[in-house]
Structure 1
């Protein structure tokens, strides 16, 4: 997360090659969105490496295999000389082209954002496990996201002969809050993990400050919030509570309501001939947007540049309308914007003298392997269930290359599901602090019905009390 994992890895592979320890070939698997950046860094740090980027459609890949894989026809099958030193490809192609890639004997495998391997039932994990690989290197800023089971699967992928008993592992570290258990786990992890802190890598890293900004619901939001609760009264109040799926659906609706009521088609009123929303109504309908409007004015006047993260692409659409209305220039990345276009947007934003003031990003798509250190302010418009995704998000700005103090503002709607979710997320972070550096382990990463129930009912008393007082 801005610690230079990519550069360190490239230099490591290059030194293995240059010092005669290994001739390759090396397989690097990374999220599609980061492959362009990997290419650039290979050019800069390992100029003598022959790097083949293996992406594209079926035909493109066939052409790459014919021309770039070996010096002779059918050499891959018969084990003749491989032409390249490094093959750079995406997670998906590891699975899709298993027949070809799995037939090569790899000197070293590198998996970027390796928390993708946290589930040993995933196809990616099973397929990659069948490849012929001498050495494995996993890169991740978040080795532990929800529970110890995920950490075990990473260790099992690296050294299956040593870590092969999940039940035993979980039993052994069942009470991870005890100091002797933590020390034991650290000793076990020691030989398998090289941990770098930003402070180790970059001594003069500017500080970052995170502020939770509590926001009030607008009148329109209060109306819809109450409507969602009353409409689902039976599911919320039945003896055993509603089933988990219906409770999660109610929670999503309440989260949407906290963001903006226009996320419900019934509330969205198109007032302008061009089909966009009336800017004034758009802002006044949401407590968060009213606050954002005031904040952006001050940030703009102070010469800051801002990354705004939301989990919902429909919310990014509304934020686009809002930025247009306010007259701010911006860029945007979400899951629908791929490789080349994504990198162009990043390059435009990072260019010297760029006019773009804001960058809109979806938390999941914009939170991996992207360098936006030219911004010094991060606004998390709505928090992710998984606090590590938010950390990945603000690490786009707080990374090597940043020379200003970074401010992170996390919007949380007061006395709502959001406030309770933030408290649950804090508990998840405790787990990481205790295990990965001096780790609180629950065996389950998903939420129980009781927890869901608790989150949904948080703040409702106050909301409905207003009604009684108003009557």
Structure 2
């Protein structure tokens, strides 16, 4: 009797000579299934199970046998058998059921074989992510790392990694003990969190896994990676390694290598004068190239086997369908490292290509990842899927914020400088706004919203140009307006601060930077200026000069998209964003050119916004479009795709 009473908390208060539980309570947390098997385990026979409509559970618990057959090239082949009693369940059918969210198998005797929580935690991810052929399943060896908390009797892949490695992994997570010595050839003093980052890269590499280092911008992802490269080259001096990055960062990587690891020989393969024959003959340990170059010269760069392949600003390959993503994934490398301060720009699916590069095959096909994780998380905010993806990715993505690890970094203050247009500029803005509104809604009425989104984008672009300066429009469209309130406000600020401070000014319009340069010439203000047209070597030259404490040019005009990533401009302590960008993450990247490790002064960042215009609306809509702690607004067209007709009217 005591056993029966202990089966459910409601039974203790029942004195009728029998025990009753409601249908709803019997369903909760699989109570009926657990009670049924508990009674069977104690030798108690249950009568009437064949008459039940809802709880026709099999008396047999799920059993699984695993035999590891082969381990090669980061993949593991296993024989796996799943059965209830004497009935074996085909792996392919089991995979379909799990992907459909089913937890019960209809057996030949019409009873239900239940896949309980313990079994699902132990085997579901392996079966979902595996390639199945009859009774064999192949998975990425890296999946062993997600079993770090699993007890010995529940482990499946964990024995693939040596006990010594697991001990170091535990030490890395729980202790400050040094696990790997920083190479003597490294000419830098690592901060504690940077040493942790280097050790994390080294640990994963020792396990045969790649990594995605996603530290906040300015925390030294480049230095941590160079430290690992120095370690790898010390142990593999004949290996050839490759760094792929945006063209604007090529010379930054070259200079950082020369500064922190001068013993490593490197070569830049980029530009119109690049020579494939010279590259072939060069005795170098690191090749530095750009995304555009590797796409154009795939035949030259993909024929080698690399020790380590690094992709910087890895969100450049977030689109799995893009040619550059395909080419980068064709690199042959023992270890792959992805670097990005913003790995998620638009949504969860952005992670797929970067993770697929770092740990090939572990996350399945892009269709599987989208269906299993991205859609469920972004569309449905499915908590179970969020937890499942976090469990899978946690060992391979390392992200630290400035607030966590660089508390000594000076304060960053962000403010908005509100501007009111003069009468001529405001009249021009209102006239164009009325034209745009009329044309857009006529187009939506005739062609529908989806077919009108290019017109929406063009209309918004024109309004934003007027906010910056009427001079950005063709002369015949200006209605006599010339003055720009933003330019006046910016110049007023610059004249006050340039004597004592260095300043960065960002705009997405290169033509606006040209106008600002012209105004600076009129005011005899010295400046540096680069945009997408500036050769990378010239950019590096200007950055070095600006960073020099003895340099007297205190102003840098920079294109937002050409110069918002990878550059270190800590000599500046003032940042002006001349026009708002759709994606706040891009704006933060621009600000973090100066608010990063090495900065010793407080940083002041200003957005210059025209009051009662589309710019004010953009800021408000940005906040509405945030999701999963990341801004869903990506490129211009990505932002437009998320707008409803009501928001366009707004």
- TM-score grouping bracket, smaller chain normalisation: 0.7 to 0.9
The answer as to 2:250 corresponding to 1:35 is yes
Secondary structure in structure 2 of the residue aligned to 1:348: helix
How far does residue 172 in structure 1 lie from its aligned partner after superposition? 3.5
Q: 2:469 aligned to 225, 247, 260, which one?
A: 260
Matches within 5 A, 1:125-140: 125-140=325-340
How far does residue 65 in structure 1 lie from its aligned partner after superposition? 2.6
Check 1:218–1:431 CA distance in 2 against 1; reply closer, same or farther (3 A cut).
Answer: farther
Q: 2:612 aligned to 415, 434, 444, which one?
A: 415
Matches within 5 A, 1:188-199: 188-199=392-403
The answer as to 2:559 corresponding to 1:362 is yes
TM-score when scaled to structure 1? Answer: 0.82
2: distance between equivalents of 1:411 and 1:441?
A: 20
Matches within 5 A, 1:282-361: 285-300=483-498, 303-361=500-558
Partners of 1:25 and 1:86 within 8 A in 2 = yes
What is residue 643 of structure 2 aligned with on the other side?
451
Greater mean alpha carbon deviation, residues 418-427 or residues 400-409: 418-427
2: distance between equivalents of 1:441 and 1:364?
A: 15
Partners of 2:570 and 2:595 within 8 A in 1 = yes
Check 1:146–1:418 CA distance in 2 against 1; reply closer, same or farther (3 A cut).
Answer: same
2: distance between equivalents of 1:205 and 1:430?
A: 28
Q: 2:456 aligned to 237, 247, 250, which one?
A: 247
Partners of 1:431 and 1:441 within 8 A in 2 = no
How far does residue 378 in structure 1 lie from its aligned partner after superposition? 0.3
1: distance between equivalents of 2:611 and 2:389?
A: 38
2: distance between equivalents of 1:404 and 1:47?
A: 29
Secondary structure in structure 1 of the residue aligned to 2:600: coil
Matches within 5 A, 1:45-444: 45-57=260-272, 60-68=274-282, 83-163=283-363, 164=365, 165=368, 166-174=370-378, 177=381, 182-238=386-442, 239=445, 240=448, 243-266=452-475, 285-300=483-498, 303-427=500-624, 430-432=627-629
- Deviation string 1:344-385 (CA, Å, 9 cap, x unpaired) is 211222222322231100101111211111110000000111
1: distance between equivalents of 2:219 and 2:617?
A: 31
Partners of 1:248 and 1:452 within 8 A in 2 = no
User: Which ranges of structure 2 fall in alignment gaps of 5 or more residues?
Assistant: 1-216
2: distance between equivalents of 1:297 and 1:102?
A: 51
1: distance between equivalents of 2:641 and 2:244?
A: 37
Partners of 2:570 and 2:596 within 8 A in 1 = yes
TM-score when scaled to structure 2? Answer: 0.61
Secondary structure in structure 2 of the residue aligned to 1:446: helix
2: distance between equivalents of 1:449 and 1:131?
A: 33
User: Which ranges of structure 1 fall in alignment gaps of 5 or more residues?
Assistant: 69-82, 272-280, 434-438, 459-471
2: distance between equivalents of 1:259 and 1:292?
A: 11
Check 1:254–1:95 CA distance in 2 against 1; reply closer, same or farther (3 A cut).
Answer: same
2: distance between equivalents of 1:171 and 1:342?
A: 40
Partners of 1:209 and 1:407 within 8 A in 2 = yes
* Greater radius of gyration (CA): 2
Partners of 2:543 and 2:569 within 8 A in 1 = yes
How far does residue 161 in structure 1 lie from its aligned partner after superposition? 1.9
1: distance between equivalents of 2:487 and 2:267?
A: 46
